[in-house]
Amino acid sequence: MAANLQDFPMLIDGEMTASRTGEWMISVNPANESELGRTPAAGAEDVNRAVEAAEAAQPAWAELTVFERGNLLRKVAGALRERAKELLDVEVADTGNTIGSLKADVEFAAQGLEFYAGLGTEMKGETIPASSANLHFTLLEPYGVVGRIIPFNHPILFAAGRMAAPLMAGNTIVIKPAETSPLSASIFGDICRRILPRGVVNIVTGFGNPAGDALVRHPRVKRIAFTGSVATGIAIQRAAAEKSVKSVTLELGGKNPLIVFPDVDLDTVAKAAVGGMNFSWQGQSCGSTSRLMVHESIYSRVLERVSDITKSLKVGDPKDPASQMGPINSARQYEKVKYYIGQGKEEGARLVTGGGRPSGKDFERGYWIEPTIFADVQGDMRIAREEIFGPVLSVFRWDKVDDVLKLANSTDYGLTASIWTNDLKTALNAARRVRSGFVWINQVSAHYIGVPFGGYSNSGTGREEGLSELLSYLEHKSVNVALR
């Protein structure tokens, strides 16, 4: 009954609009497969309109003082909090993520806006004493139009929080949300439309191709920032390089290790191991510690505790605040997770819990999978090496420090790592040797505004969430002034 579906238009040049293609994408609720609404399926012409609007708005936006831009970003943060309920209703239904987690996402996005709003005067250049006959200094200037492509798992967090740095730097932006959870971007577009000058923020919904691809290839978008899978990140680097020179940063996937040394409190570490899997996003969070590596002297005891906690997780309606896990985001992702569970069984890993669809009337439709643990996983298995992006934890046993670090560093990824021990030297040596961009010691999952986040290896290039993210949206210009 597509005719009765609510429309969630996109934002181009200050107006909520459909696509010139006339095409729409239908959004599905992964908890029950019902149709929630439709968003425009943008084509290259829509992307071009958005880039032109952003380009036209950019000089006046950059002319505002950093305090004026900061104040406008703070207003957007305020509006996010005021309209949080409306955003959450749509976002929980569209993503399947649990409401408690998404509440935290909205707040984190608002705090990100406020953080960058206060950093305007940190966009400093330098003076260089290169000669005495001249004055040499640098100016940091915006690129112009930034293209921002985001994944399905944290839609509002990435749309709102990750536009703060580019806008604060004086750029305008075109955002491309993911096709399986684009609805909240329409509400967010309405927020931006009411607060910011027209054209400063544009949101183009649509598929990776043509919409995302057209944005990446657009000749007048020099700065691209992407969050998503490695395969798409590589495709974007290639496309961006084909006809012009662009600055591209990538925040990609992870297969992150959590290393447990023998001296830890077993209950604490077991709880953390379950927390680190981000089951409230069904494991669909890039920083999830999906490889649990436990020293053999405590392996069975930790595994038993982790398994008990995992079995006790309440899987159910993501709108219910009591639910600790919801459905997988989309049919495609659901198939992928099921495929990897099959691989784990085939390759001889031991299925400790989960692996199937939860039973009961509530789970007859929708993309439900039980929280799943494989034990006795070997380093060469696919569930040891490849990102599943689902609620599947792989548990490994280790004996020597050198071996566990080799195992930790044995994938193509390098996003996060978590190290558990009460011995300072052991912890810091492991932190230094692990090839990951973001390391936790005796903690998991947490992001801290101001602390740079990003990956080694195929997990990406560039850092976000700190001052360096702001500076990454600026060109550097050197000025040489003759003094005599």
286 is catalytic: yes
CB of 442 to ligand NAI, least distance (A): 22
Q: Which is nearer to Mg ion, 94 or 464 (CB)?
A: 94
Distance, CA of 478 to CA of 476 (rounded, Å): 7
438 scored as a contact of ligand NAI (CB under 6 A): no
387 scored as a contact of ligand NAI (CB under 6 A): yes
Catalytic residue among 251, 387, 464, 469: 251
Which of the stretches 27-35, 117-125, 226-234, 356-364 binds ligand NAI when contact is defined by CB under 6 A? 226-234
Among 213, 317, 370, 469, binds ligand NAI (CB under 6 A): 213
Number of separate helices (H) and strands (E) present in the chain: 16, 19
Distance, CA of 214 to CA of 290 (rounded, Å): 34
Q: Find the binding residues for ligand NAI in span 105-164 (CB under 6 A).
A: 149-153
Q: Which is nearer to Mg ion, 14 or 155 (CB)?
A: 155
- Site track 456-475 with ligand NAI (rule: CB under 6 A), x = hit: ----x---------------
The contact set with Mg ion (CB under 5 A) reads: 27, 94, 180-181
178 scored as a contact of ligand NAI (CB under 6 A): yes
Burial class of residue 476, CB neighbours in 10 A (0-12, 13-18, 19+): exposed
259 scored as a contact of ligand NAI (CB under 6 A): no
Instruction: Give first-to-last CA distance, the chain, whole Å.
Output: 77
HEC-encoded secondary structure of 227-286: ECCHHHHHHHHHHHHHHCCCEEEEECCCCCEEEECCCCCHHHHHHHHHHHCCHHHCCCCC
Task: Residue 416: name its binding partner from Mg ion, ligand NAI, none (Cβ under 5 to 8 Å by kind).
Answer: none
Task: Residue 94: name its binding partner from Mg ion, ligand NAI, none (Cβ under 5 to 8 Å by kind).
Answer: Mg ion
CB nearest Mg ion: which residue? 94
DSSP type of residue 357: P
Q: Which is nearer to ligand NAI, 236 or 337 (CB)?
A: 236
217 scored as a contact of ligand NAI (CB under 6 A): no
Q: Which is nearer to ligand NAI, 165 or 236 (CB)?
A: 236
356-394 as b/e: b if 16+ CB within 10 A: eeeeeeebeebbbbbbbbbbebeeebebbebbbbbbbbb
Catalytic residue among 91, 179, 192, 286: 286
Q: Which is nearer to ligand NAI, 140 or 173 (CB)?
A: 173
Residue 353: its H or E element: strand 350-353
283 neighbors 315 (Cβ within 8 angstroms): no
Non-local (6+) Cβ contacts of 29 within 8 A are 35, 36, 93, 94, 96, 366
Q: Which is nearer to ligand NAI, 188 or 389 (CB)?
A: 389
Non-local (6+) Cβ contacts of 443 within 8 A are 272, 418
CB of 20 to Mg ion, least distance (A): 24
Residue whose token pair is 């040499």 = 136
Q: Name the nearest CA neighbour of 63 among 223, 225, 200.
A: 200
Identify the three-state secondary structure at position 163: coil
253 scored as a contact of ligand NAI (CB under 6 A): yes
Active site amino acids: 251, 286
Q: Which residues bind ligand NAI (CB under 6 A)?
A: 149-153, 176, 178-179, 207-209, 212-213, 216, 227-229, 232, 235-236, 251-254, 286, 387, 389, 415, 455, 460
